[in-house]
Amino acid sequence: MFDFWMDFASAFCFRQAPWMQMKDWNQRNAKEKKGLPGLPLLLFVLLMGIPGSALSALAPAFFPQRGRGLFSVFRDEENSRKLREARTLLEQEHWNAGIETLLQVLENASPSAVSMEPGKGYRGLLSSARELLTGLPPKGLAVFERRVEGQAALLLDQARKSRNLRALKEVSRRFPGTRFARAAQLQIADILMESGNIPAAWNTFSALPASSPSGWAGKLICRKLLGLPLYWNKLPEATYSWKGDPLPRAPLIQKIQEVPPLPQPGNPWPEFGGNSEGNRVPSPPVSPHSLFWERRIPTLGIYNWGIHPVSDGRRTLIATGTGLHCFHLMTGELEWSFEGPLHFEERPADFLGGLSPHQIHVPAIKDDIVVAAIQVPVIPDIAKENTEFNGIPVMRRLPVRRLFGFDLETGRVLWSHWSKKGKDRGQALDVSAPPLIVGDTIYVATHKQLGTIAYYVSAFDLRTGTLKWKTLICSSQIEVNMFGNASWEHPGAPLACSDGVIFGTTNLGVAFSIDAEDGAIRWLSSYEIIPIPQAQMIPTAREVYWANNPPLVSEDLVILTPTDSIWVLALERETGKLRWKAPYIASENRSGRSYPLRWLLGIRNNKVYFSGDCFAAIPLSPPGLTLDRRTEARVVIPGLRLGIRNSGDLSEEPRPVLTRSKLLFISRGLGLRRFRISGQADDRGVQDRQEGKYGNLCSSGGVLVSARPLYQRRLIVLRGFFSFQSLLSKARDDFRARPKDLQAAFRLAELMTATPDGSLRTKKAAISAFQYVLNLLKQRGQSLNSPIGIRAKRGLFRLLLELGREEIAHSPEEGKEHLLAALDLGMSLPGNERIHTQILEICELLLSEESLDPARRTRIFSLLEGPFAEVSYPFAGFGTLPGGLYAILIRLRNPAQELSQAKEQMLLLQRILEEYEGAGIGGVPARDYALTLMRDRIRRFGKTVYEELEKRAQQEFDRAGGKRETLKRILHDYPMSEVAGRAIIALAKASAAKNDLEGVLEAWVLSQKRGATQPPSVLWALARVARKRGNLPLAREAARRLPKNFRSNLKSGFEDLPNFALLPPQVEPRLEGIPEALLLDEFWDQRRGRAGDLTTSLLNPSLIRGFPRKGRLPLLFVHSERYQLLAFAPSPKTNKYQLDKADYRLPFEPSIRPLAASIYGDVLILPERGKVRGVHLDSGNVLWDYDRNLSKIQEMEGEEILLSGPIQGGIYLLVSGDPGDREKPLTLHGLEPLTGKRIFRTQIRGNLIPELKNGYFFTL
């Protein structure tokens, strides 16, 4: 509800005056600035008729300051007042009253709510209340703990015993700062550490009070494990605990420094910026001038430099904005590709007009999941169409992006926030920036745009994609045209996370800091923005100087480069206060020249480094700041030395790579250049002068990956630069130097796997290398299910499978051993589609060996019939079918020679009927296959072979008690039994008792399949029910088929029932003599105030005799452009048609083929190209739909309905086939028109010409 009011208020306040620019605000005097913002809110309150007090919690606060943009935030005046009161009460040592007031704020305040605090700026209410409770002096803390002790102790005890993370978090949330909260947080962190979720444990330790020694120690240990920089300056002098032993500060530092970081397989670069603090040091590439592979990726989007590759050390991934593609890092081979839903739209260009060149497209990788923001074909509420007037853009449809989660191994979509049917599970949040993954949570900037841009940060669960929380940061506006409409999307900024806090900028004039756990705002900081140009007929975009860089986080600063500002900002992490700022221009001391900057590269040696037309740096603590905290970047390497002759368009300058000590820079004149970070060239005589080869760079595992868009072509060129031999030699040297180094051993194993020769000897050496890595993990006591352990097991599994495939033909024993080892290893890996299919391949290869010992064969059958029973695989000779069905077929492979064997096989065939009916075996339906073999066994061994199944059927029949579902199950599962005949009769009688025409028809169809003679009781039930339901021709036909002796005993005959006849379309008296064109003119004159719409026609369905109906027929119109059927019923008072309002509308796309719409009593049958529907003529409700059933029987591509119409006996006939291939057969479908039940289906030759006339079907 809050989102609605904020969107409405923002839209009202801003959309009324899109011409109001920052220059106007800056020119106003202080009195005007203070008084004007209240006017829109007052008007909003008056318009809505809501008391101002009720809106105090929703009031937007406006900040028109000099040089700053206009934006609104969520102000909660009531809780702000309580917070001020609580602070006063605590200062006066009124502990109980102050704590009670803070607890009220804690329970009632929104995470988005902020208040202005003198000298501190805008602080979040929730975080401020928590800080006051956490920072209570000893006297106040004692009062707080006594106050909550009873409840908190009980909740903590229950949560500890159950180890329930949610319950422990609730204790921490409700009683912040108390010993109960600290105990809960420590147990949460311990549980997370035990489960291997180090990033989440890091956030939890960081949330402990600054006075907590355990919090400090845990936070630093987590930082060391994650490979993040360690900062000791703020570590207090205290006694710490290390494995149960007390330690002072200095020994603790030494112990933490000795902790080995978690092995990072392949030196990955998993997200934009490399890690959550945006400051990961990439591994230096080996031979970065040597092009090893190149791939070209087609895209829908325009020429865009915002595409950056990432890597997990074995693969590289690239997101194009509309798709995601995964390549092998060493070979460049495409492993999988996902083309987003926009690729399947008929007119994708309609969704691409509002793309921003400053939008960043980067996926994020965590363990075995990759997350990306993909553009989807959703029409936004703000602009539903691209509209122009005399070449002047009025409205442009803006892009909509949603999050997708993929399996990294296979590319399978695990979850998404978009579906083709429009069902998004409530996660329909439009994504504005690349995702950031920390632990098991995805953090991403999202927005709503209704007049203004409401900017949120949202958190989602990594595994399921479900929303955890979302926090409104602010609302503001970007450039608009003279009609107040935006012409392009707003590019949000990437996020950073450090010590449990999310940092970022909105690119709307506001930087922010929020809690990672629940999204509570900690502080907001406004900054000077580039003025928005005055609205014109054709909107003018602001000049953008900085790239959309990820933030950098240091010990006490966060470094930001908002795209709507000329400044790089260094803000204090804790308060958001400006420490220093610098313009996008760097100055050279010697020549006095200035160079524009674009990229924020990283922090090295206590300096922040940038690139653009030069390479420049600013110290983290720059000297000589001006009064407004201004400093300047100093040039380290000028443009001429980088090879830049003339300053060009920096928006097309690729992002360089900054390693620990070197810069890899793309020069427009000299191609790839390499320099030391101190400024000396390090090219070693290598200069390729081919800058066109390079794009945005990513260095991972010794490979330099480049992504570059091509001019005038919708292509992204992805290239891998390295020398494989140099890489392998370096890996071998590293391993010889450090044989016990897990990272070096793993790197060598993966490189040996990717060796181009692929010889048997190389594969065996790589197997030994992976086994060595796994042994190292065991010796260290580390889990084999750690990220590096899983990667090693997967590599070993692939090699064993490849070796087993090759050896099974010429060295069966060795091949079997390798395949069995691969099977054992595969079962220990986290399951995914690729692993499952590879395990099934192993099972197939092993079962093909006759020499496989019985124990192993039994184990393989247990796997196929157990965990892999429903996993499909293309088995040789059988086609694609589930593993369980394959196991049954292998058991059936040898024909039965004795009765006992035949009985066992009958039980296996029965399993096919019950468990795998929908599968196909070599193009034959599994059910037909099983029934054929059953008939063969009965023919060879007699009915004795079916005894066991006959007993089961009889037991089911005895328990049925006339229940129709049970009777249907008997007919389905035991069609060969004697009991099935009795079940058909019982089903017909039970359905007739309930007047269920569909059930009686099913019994009739089943009786036809069992034999030519149909039970009279079934025909009699059909005749009675068809007559009651209104299908009189069907009732007459069923009665006609009854035996004479049965009919002579009937009390009432059916001879008087009408036979089939086509009646002429009903002509209403009011319409007689009126031309159809004139009727349409009158229709559109009443409906739209205009006449002569030639796309509308009157629908005249055939009326079928023998289907009673009361009342006049509605008037039916078809609008062929809008694909709608409109029905107008006669007025009950005047009995005339009123065309001012349709009684109902239906989506309806008439076919160009002769598909006859027909009226059977109260049912209107509407045939279309691929489906037929039965619609209630008076209400428009769809009674049945044959679309789903038709799709099931379409065994051939291109099949559609060619002919339809009524036939004798109260049946509606469909003829389907492939109009483009006369060799394919035609299929006849007979439907009962009132229920849509299919009565028959048969096929005829496709070279015949089908015809329908006077209720009869014939062919030419």
DSSP 568: E
**pLDDT interval class at 1073 (50, 70, 90):** very low
- The pair of structure tokens assigned to 1088 is 């739209």
Residue ranges of alpha helices (H) inside 1092-1181 are none
The three-state (H, E, C) secondary structure of 712-730, written as one string? CCCEEEEEEECCHHHHHHH
Please, which residues have CB within 8 angstroms of residue 786's CB and are 6 or more apart in sequence?
196, 262, 263, 777
> Can you tell me the distance from the alpha carbon of 304 to that of 320, in angstroms, rounded to the nearest whole number?
9
Asked, for residue 283, whether it belongs to a domain, the answer is no
With cut-offs at 50, 70 and 90, classify the pLDDT of residue 888. Answer: very high
Q: Does some domain include residue 267?
A: no
> Residue 1056 — very low, low, confident or very high, per pLDDT cuts 50/70/90?
low
CA–CA separation, 559 and 401 (whole Å): 27
8, 15 contact by CB (below 8 A)? no
- Written as six digits, the tokens of 107 are 């329970």
Residue with tokens 């200035």: 594
Tokens 């915002």, residue? 306
Residue 147 pLDDT exceeds 60 = yes
Ordered DSSP codes for 673-687: EEEETTS-B--TT--
Same structural domain, 1022 and 1075 = no
For residue 1133, being part of any structural domain is answered with yes
Q: What is the pLDDT of residue 602?
A: 94
Do 240 and 268 meet the contact criterion of CB atoms below 8 Å apart?
no
pLDDT band for position 1048 (cuts 50, 70, 90): low
Please name the residues in contact with 57: beta carbons below 8 A apart, sequence gap of 6 or more.
Answer: 76, 77, 78, 79, 110, 113
Q: How many domains does the chain have?
A: 3
CATH number of the domain where residue 397 is located: 2.140.10.10
| 399 to 435, 453, 506, 613, 962: CA distances (angstroms) | 17, 14, 18, 32, 58
Reduce the DSSP state of residue 225 to 3 states and report it. Answer: helix
Residue carrying structure tokens 């009123």: 1138
Give whole-number Cα distances, 997 to 970, 1213, 1237, in Å. Answer: 20, 18, 9
Sort strands 1062-1063 and 1096-1098 into parallel, antiparallel or unpaired: unpaired
Distances (CA, A) of 252 to 223, 224, 241, 556, 1039: 14, 13, 9, 22, 96
Of 535, 691, 738, 633, residue with least CA distance to 14: 535
Residue at 40 is within a domain: no
Q: Summarize pLDDT for 510-565 with one digit per residue, the tens.
A: 999 999 999 999 999 999 998 888 777 777 778 899 999 999 999 999 999 999 99
- pLDDT confidence of residue 10: 36
The tokens of 611 are what? 């690139």
Domain that residue 461 falls in: 291-583+695-722
d(CA 329, CA 346): 34
What percent of the chain has a predicted confidence (pLDDT) above 70?
Answer: 86
> Final residue of a domain: which of 722, 740, 762?
722
Asked whether residue 551 is domain-assigned, the answer is: yes
pLDDT, position 1075: 43
Alpha-carbon distance of 449 to 665, in angstroms, equals: 38
Instruction: Tell me which of 990, 1023, 1048 is where a domain ends.
Output: 1048
498 and 469 within one domain: yes
Alpha-carbon torsion (462, 464, 470, 476), positive or negative: positive
For residues 300 and 409, state if they share a domain: yes
Phi and psi, residue 880, nearest 5°: -80, 120
> Within this chain, do residues 1152 and 1012 fall inside the same structural domain, yes or no?
no
Say whether both 303 and 449 belong to one domain.
yes
Beta bridge partners of 370: 365, 406
Cβ contacts of 889 within 8 Å, gap of 6 or more: 878, 881, 921
Per-residue confidence band for 52, with pLDDT thresholds at 50, 70 and 90: very low
Same domain, 1004 and 1070: no
| Predicted local distance difference test score (pLDDT) of residue 1141 | 79
662 SS3 class: strand
Does residue 430 sit in the same domain as residue 556? Answer: yes
Overall average pLDDT of the 663-688 stretch: 80
The DSSP code for 346 is S
Bridge partners of 633, per DSSP, are: 586
Within this chain, do residues 1025 and 1133 fall inside the same structural domain, yes or no?
Answer: no
pLDDT at 1046: 66
- Mapping DSSP onto H, E and C, the string for 826-883 reads HHCCCCCHHHHHHHHHHHHHHHCCCCCCHHHHHHHHHHHHCCCCCCEEEECCCEEEEH
Instruction: Answer yes or no: do 322 and 470 share one domain.
Output: yes
Work out whether the CA dihedral 164, 167, 169, 172 comes out positive or negative.
negative
pLDDT value, residue 21: 29
DSSP state of 1223: T
Give, for 991, the enclosing helix (H) or strand (E).
helix 979-993
Predicted model pTM: 0.77
What is the percent of the chain with per-residue pLDDT over 90, rounded to a whole number?
47
* Partners of residue 1167 on adjacent β-strands: 1172
Does some domain include residue 515? yes
User: What was the pLDDT predicted at 951?
Assistant: 93
388 vs 95 pLDDT, higher one = 95
- 885 lies in some domain: no
- Look up tokens 């927005």; give the residue: 447
Both structure tokens of 701: 């595992």
Residue 1225's CATH number: 2.40.128.630
Are 437 and 547 contained in the same domain?
Answer: yes
Of 653, 647, 531, which is closest to residue 593 (Cα–Cα)? 647
My answer on whether 469 and 558 are in the same domain is yes
Max CA distance (Å), the chain = 119
Q: Among 790, 941, 1005, 839, which Cα is nearest to 196's?
A: 790
d(CA 580, CA 1021): 90
**Neighbouring-strand partners of residue 868:** none
From residue 478, give the alpha-carbon distance in Å to each of 27, 97, 453. Answer: 20, 45, 8
Pairing of strands 1226-1231, 1211-1217: antiparallel
- What the block records as the tokens of 162 is 């159950």
Tell whether 1121 and 1024 lie within a shared domain: no
> Side by side, which strands form the sheet with 657-658?
657-658, 662-667, 671-676
Closest residue by Cα to residue 932 from 976, 872, 900, 967: 976
Q: How many Cα neighbours within 13 Å face the side chain of 910?
A: 21
Binned at pLDDT 50, 70 and 90, residue 810 comes out as: confident
Closest CA to 1239 of 1053, 1068, 1062, 1003: 1003
Closest CA to 22 of 64, 60, 61: 64
pLDDT band at 8 (very low <50, low <70, confident <90, very high): very low
pLDDT digits (tens, 9 = 90+) for 631-663: 999 999 998 888 887 766 677 889 999 999 999
**How would residue 20 be classed by pLDDT, with cut points 50, 70 and 90?**
very low
The count of residues in the chain is: 1260
pLDDT tens-digit series, residues 1160-1198: 999 999 988 778 999 999 899 999 988 644 433 344 456
What count of other Cβ atoms lies within 10 Å of the Cβ of residue 531? 15
Mean pLDDT of the chain: 83
Q: Could you say which of 1016, 1048, 1080 is where a domain stops?
A: 1048
| Mean pLDDT within 863-869 | 92
Cα atoms found within 13 Å of the Cα of residue 488, Cβ hemisphere only = 13
Q: Which helix (H) or strand (E) holds 323?
A: strand 323-328
DSSP code for 367: T
Amino acid letter for position 403: L
Residue 837: inside a domain, yes or no? no
Q: Is the dihedral of CA 877, 878, 884, 885 positive or negative?
A: negative
> Taking CA 282 as the corner, what is the angle to CA 276 and CA 284, rounded to the nearest 5 degrees?
180
